[in-house]
Every structure is written in C-alpha cells, then in structure tokens.
Structure 1
Amino acid sequence: MRWRSTLVAAAVGAAALLAPVLVAPTASAHGWVTNPPSRQDHCSTGAVSFDCGGLQYEPQSVEAPKGSMQCSGGGGFTVLDDESLPWPRTQIDNSVTMRWQLKAQHATSTWEYFVDGVLHRTFDDHGAKPDAVVEHTVDNLPAGDHTILARWNVADTVNAFYACVDVTVGEGGGTTEPPVDPTDPPVEPGDCDVAAWDPAAVYVLGDRATVGGHTYEARWWTRGENPTTTGEWGAWRDLGAC
C-alpha cells in the first residue's frame, strides 16, 4: 500500500504546482477611442447589427505590434478590418477632439492619427504616463467620408493599441491652406527674453517659446510638438527672429 500513498502524494503535489497556472487571470488590456465612437466602441455598445465576437466585452483589447495600418493592428480582432460591414459613421466638423479611455495607463511614446492611411497628426508624450482619459484635437480634416486610424504607441513595449473611427466631415472640411483665424493677434517681433522651448512642458494659447533664434506662440494646448516642425497651420505661430 505504500506505493499507492506515494503516487497519491505525487499527484497532489503536481496539482498544487499546476493550480496557479490554471487559475491565473489573463492580462487586462488597455485603451480605446470612445469619442467619436471607434469601431470597437460601437461593438461594445451594441450599435452594430453584426457579431463582433469578444469585442463586445473588451473594446480596450485591440493590441498588436507597432507599425500596423490595420484597424485590428494585425491582431486577433479581424472583424475590425472588414470594410464590407456597415460601420456607423459620425458626422463631425473639420476639427474633432479624439478621446481615449484607458484601462491601464502605460508610459507613452506617441499618439498617431492617420486619415485614410496618411499620417495627419502626431502627439509626442516622451515616455510620460497619461491620464485615464486622453484627448487630442485633430484639425484641418478634409471634407467627406473618411476612416481615422488612431494608434497609441506604448513607450516600454513593442506593442501599440489601435482604433478606427469612421467619420463624415462636413462641407467645411479642411484644405491644404486653411484661412488664418481672424481672432489671431497681429504677429509681433520675436522676444529674445522668452525661455527656450521645453519638449516636456505644456503650453496653452498665448504661451511663447524660443527655438533656433525664433520666438513662437502657441495657438492651442500643446506638448512635445517642436515649433519648427508644426508648419504654418500647426500649433505654433512663428513670431520671427530674435
């Protein structure tokens, strides 16, 4: 009978070792665009007439290696890539606030927004940890029906989170040369006493910074956007050389 007792003890010991593996929860994932509603958000709220599979319960889980241009990121939720499905479209103006809801706040390198596969705006967080709700203003959108691919690039992993947003931009959609905002004050000569631009600092409307011998003034909230690279219609106005 001793050999039977030995076998039972060995089996119990093996089961004890396996138990943590069997009951360990899967990693909870992490964030998606809720406004305007992304495809996975429509799935989670029941706004679509077709089966989205697991997205109904975990819209935050569209995670895949960085660099993909697919709505699924090339991961398992391939329903997101099916352009034949009747994805709802949201009517917007040529400027829209993209809102992310984060279930886990990962250190972030960049947030990227592509319009019909073309990079439109990038927001650089320089590895900072974001808030639970993240908003970006994406402006100068072209008129008509478009799909915006939002890509959240995590700083300390090889992965990114993906969300596609289907929109219809009104007839006032942006152009390559939008008119100057009439509320902008006249451009004044640069002020050499202005502090140098800090990529980690937050700037709001009217704040000024100096880069490369020029002074720039912020048109809206911005962080990490180099004034010398945002262009004439970007977040910064060039006030001229010091």
Structure 2
Amino acid sequence: MRKSRKIILSIAGAATLAVSASMAALAWGHGYTSDPPSRSALCADGEVTNCGAISYEPQSVEGPKGFPAAGPADGEICSAGNDPFAPLDDPRGGNWPTTSVSAGPRTFTWTMTARHSTATFDYYITNSSYDPSQPLTRSDLGLTPIASFSMGGAQPDHTMNHTVTLPSRTGQHLVLAVWNIADTVNAFYSCIDVDFSGGGSGEPTDDPPTSSDPGTGEGCTAAAWAATAVYTGGSKVTHEGVAYTASWWTQGEEPGTTGQWGVWKQTATC
C-alpha cells in the first residue's frame, strides 16, 4: 500500500512539473513588436478587446517561415495561421487603432521573451490597393521588404530597435514585421496598423551624402572592409574609395552591393 501511494505521488508530481513547464513555455516564448504597437500588443494592453488567447500571449504568433513564397496563407497572415489567434486577422471593419507615421525613418521596437537564434527581421508595407476593411493578403503587400536586418544566427537583445525608412503613402496602411528564426522552420509575425497623416520627409533619396573635400569626409579614415570581419551598428569602413557605416550587425555583406535598404550606408566619397 505504501509503495503504491509513493508511485501515485510520483506520477502526480511529474504531471505537475509537466504542466508548470508547459505554462512557463507558453508565458515566456517569444517576441512581438511593441512600438509602434502591433495588433498583438494592443490586445495584450487591453487597448482592443475580444481578442481571445492572444491577449495573454502576444509573443506567440509563430508560423512557417519563408514569407512571401511560403508562410501563412492569405487572410491568415496576421495570426500566422494559428486558429486561436484568428482575431488578429479580423480587420474589424478597418477600425484597428493606428499609429500616426510619415514617410522617412521610423524606429520599430521588438519585445523579446525568448532570444532565438535569428536569421533576419524583415519589414513589408501595404500598397495602394490595400483595403483596411479586408483581411491581409499578399496582393495587398509589396513583396520586397522595405527593410531587412540580417543577424547571421546571433541572438537578439531582449529589446530590439530597427530604423525602418517608410516610403510615401497616404491614409491607413499596415506594416508586416517578420522575425525569421535561424535554427527552426518558423518565424514570428506582427501586424502593425499605421496612418500616414504626418507631413513626412518625402520619398527616401537614392543619393548618398558626399564630401566636398574627398579624403576627409565622414568615415574616410576608417579601416578597409574585410569579408571575414564582424561589424555592428555604427561600424565604419572604407571600400573601393567610399566610406560606409553599418546600420546593424553584419558579416560578409560587401559595401556598395546591399542597396538602398541594405546594411551599409554610404557616408562619403573618399
């Protein structure tokens, strides 16, 4: 009898531990955009009601990565295809609270509750055909990211800030932020409702600043870029007579080849 009682207690204890571990995993994975607030964040903060399960776990909007070629189905992008989070796909008649933005640089902040090894953070924005009263589909989006931040498998900080240059838009739009995990097949999705009501800084220019005195411009005294070196945000290099500054962590991405939205920003002709 005493032995049977010990077995029962052991089973009960194991079950309790399993439930506790499950709850901890639920509570502490993984990440979401908090500023400007995503739909997940608005539900968690009580700014939007009748959100269901997402109100308690805004960090858990996880689905297949590979967007836009793969990933969640059209109409299920904001929930990442998770049925319990389907309220995120409901456009609510176009009445999700919006954050006022304008064309030009804008900081987007992620709150991380589990620091997964990261491939990239990608940002997309809706096009002129977007109807905020309808569920989000790929046809609503420009399928080339307006910004992409590569981390090469590194772990993010508990708070991640990205400077994203928003293009010119008018009225209500949606920014889709995708956190692609390096060592799993999944990604985390955040839908952010914005309203282009500000004056803005206009369309971003393709023309980088140059120095009127070649050889003395910003960054011209920096060391030459090396393909094997690791650079973080703010690092300065020179490459083929041009000075560049890194916008985020990078390795092996050659300055001058990453484009307008890439990691390397030209600062001067040396």
* TM-score, length of structure 2 as denominator length: 0.71
Contact 2:102 2:166 in 1 (8 A): no
Q: 1:219 Cα deviation (Å)?
A: 5.0
Aligned to 1:99: 109
* Structure 2 CA distance for partners of 1:110 and 1:73, relative to 1, 3 Å: same
* Structure 2 CA distance for partners of 1:162 and 1:232, relative to 1, 3 Å: closer
Find 2:10's aligned residue among 16, 39, 44: 16
Q: For residue 230 of structure 2, give the secondary structure of its aligned residue in structure 1.
A: coil
* Structure 2 CA distance for partners of 1:232 and 1:39, relative to 1, 3 Å: closer
* Structure 2 CA distance for partners of 1:151 and 1:16, relative to 1, 3 Å: same
Contact 2:122 2:178 in 1 (8 A): yes
Q: For residue 229 of structure 1, give the secondary structure of its aligned residue in structure 2.
A: coil
Contact 1:199 1:223 in 2 (8 A): no
Q: For residue 13 of structure 1, give the secondary structure of its aligned residue in structure 2.
A: helix
Percent identity (aligned): 33
Count of residue pairs brought into register by the alignment: 228
One-letter amino acid matched to 2:114 = A
Unaligned runs of 5+ in 1: none
Unaligned runs of 5+ in 2: 127-140
CA–CA distance in structure 2, aligned partners of residues 19 and 193 of structure 1? 60
Residue 87 in 1 paired to residue 96 in 2? Answer: yes
Aligned to 1:237: 266
Contact 2:39 2:88 in 1 (8 A): yes
* Structure 2 CA distance for partners of 1:232 and 1:115, relative to 1, 3 Å: closer
Q: For residue 162 of structure 1, give the secondary structure of its aligned residue in structure 2.
A: strand
Instruction: Look at both structures and tell me which one has the larger radius of gyration over its CA atoms.
Output: 1
* Structure 2 CA distance for partners of 1:156 and 1:168, relative to 1, 3 Å: same
Aligned to 1:121: 147
* TM-score, length of structure 1 as denominator length: 0.79
CA–CA distance in structure 1, aligned partners of residues 226 and 267 of structure 2? 14
* Structure 2 CA distance for partners of 1:203 and 1:51, relative to 1, 3 Å: closer
Deviations 1:43-80 (A, max 9, x none): 111112x3001222211111122132511111231111
Alignment of 1:48-87 (within 5 A): 48=48, 50-67=49-66, 68=71, 70-75=77-82, 76-85=84-93, 86-87=95-96
CA–CA distance in structure 2, aligned partners of residues 192 and 46 of structure 1? 49
Higher alpha-carbon deviation: 32-41 or 152-161: 152-161
